[in-house]
Amino acid sequence: MEMSKTKVLVNFIQDRSGSMASVWQETMNGFKVFIKDLKDKGQQDGVDYLFSLTVFDTVIETPLLAVPIETVPEDALGKYGPRGSTALYDATGKTLEAISQASHGADKLIVAIVTDGQENSSREWSKDNLNKAIEDRLNRGNWSFVYLGTQPETWDDAHSIGIGAGATAVYDPARVGASYQAVATALHAHARSAEAGTRDLFAQRLSQPEAAAAGMITDRKSAQRPPKQSAGPRGRWR
């Protein structure tokens, strides 16, 4: 008798604001690695992945919503390019609304937020409303969130919307491929685990040496000195 597969909905929220321009090619390559890794690991380990993609600048777009990961083009980010400002609250809030209506009975729901800056242009969602929405979902027991940023302030930015230090990391935008692969590995480890949801996905599923090897910092004390960014000077507030 074939065992039923665990159904896991992964929701990827990718910043495409103007300040991403110098590392957008790396970001697209990293996304390809992320998708391929989850496809391969899911097939190998019997995890039934669904996938959503939200890309945002001032405008929010969700081109993929809870679709089988086998159907996701690995070059899905290729249709988009850096522009505009950072409507992070709106992007996250609208994604939560959308997937709450289209989770297809997923056993576990994981939301990954990636940004290189701070919120500066949301019109519908506030920090407080988003914090409440995330806390509500965490309390349901089968939701998990991770937050990746490029600055030491990443920890405060994540905390302000309800994502704790154990689920937050600083990454080197010049090493996105390695970072996204490490995130895929951590997410898959959680997907395979007996735990439905967690507030500390990185702390539980990604060791500090593994993170460091991927250009990531998962220890807030170490994040006071962010990874060296080899892609040149980049704006934070654009």
Q: What is the pLDDT of residue 74?
A: 96
Task: Classify residue 231: in a domain, yes or no.
Answer: no
Q: What is the pLDDT of residue 224?
A: 60
The CATH number of residue 77's host domain is: 3.40.50.410
Task: Classify residue 195: in a domain, yes or no.
Answer: yes
**Predicted confidence (pLDDT) at residue 2 exceeds the cutoff of 70:** no
Number of domains in the chain: 1
d(CA 232, CA 219): 24
**b (16+ CB within 10 A) / e for 27-49:** bbbbbbbbbebbbebbeeeebbb
Task: Classify residue 27: in a domain, yes or no.
Answer: yes
3-state secondary structure 4-18: CCEEEEEEEEEECCH
* Residue 127, H or E segment: helix 127-138
Give the neighbor-by-neighbor strand order of the sheet with 6-15.
60-68, 47-56, 6-15, 108-114, 143-149, 168-171, 216-217
Average pLDDT over residues 80-107: 95
Task: Classify residue 82: in a domain, yes or no.
Answer: yes
**Predicted confidence (pLDDT) at residue 226 exceeds the cutoff of 90:** no
Task: Classify residue 85: in a domain, yes or no.
Answer: yes
> What pLDDT digit, counting tens, does each position of 142-199 carry?
999 999 999 989 999 999 999 999 999 999 988 999 999 999 999 999 999 999 999 9
Instruction: Tell me the whole-structure pTM to 2 decimals.
Output: 0.92
For all residues of the chain together, what is the average pLDDT? Answer: 92
Q: Which domain holds residue 206?
A: 6-224
Task: Classify residue 238: in a domain, yes or no.
Answer: no
With a pLDDT cut of 90, the percent of the chain lying above it is 86
Average pLDDT over residues 59-83: 96
Task: Classify residue 190: in a domain, yes or no.
Answer: yes
Task: Classify residue 230: in a domain, yes or no.
Answer: no
